[in-house]
Amino acid sequence: MRLFLVVLLEGKLSVEAAQLILDNLAKSGNACPLDKSKQRWLIYWHTLDEWAEIIYNWAQDNGFVGSVCTLFELTQGDNTVDQ
């Protein structure tokens, strides 16, 4: 991602090419525009479906299915250290 931004900011990638890349990322579920003009984007390391599966599998493996977990527990809890 950083390389993409550097290339875009240095003018080595046209705005049209960047838009095409972002549109393709959106089609694959790896990006989502944050505004209607598509000037700001959220880019996902995993698709939302992949994240759902990762989190569900973690909950299942650790006995948390049906429980409520805080964001802290999911990101910094004892059960997520090696994830």
- The reported pLDDT for the residue numbered 67 is 92
Ordered DSSP codes for 3-36: HHHHHHHTTSS-HHHHHHHHHHHHHTTSEEESST
- The reported pLDDT for the residue numbered 52 is 93
- CB-side neighbour CA atoms (13 Å) of 30: 9
**Using one digit for the tens of pLDDT, what is the confidence trace for 7-56?**
666 777 788 888 998 999 999 999 999 999 998 999 998 999 999 999 89
Q: What is the pTM of this model?
A: 0.65
Q: What residue segments make up the domains of the chain, in order of their start?
A: 2-43, 48-80
- The reported pLDDT for the residue numbered 13 is 77
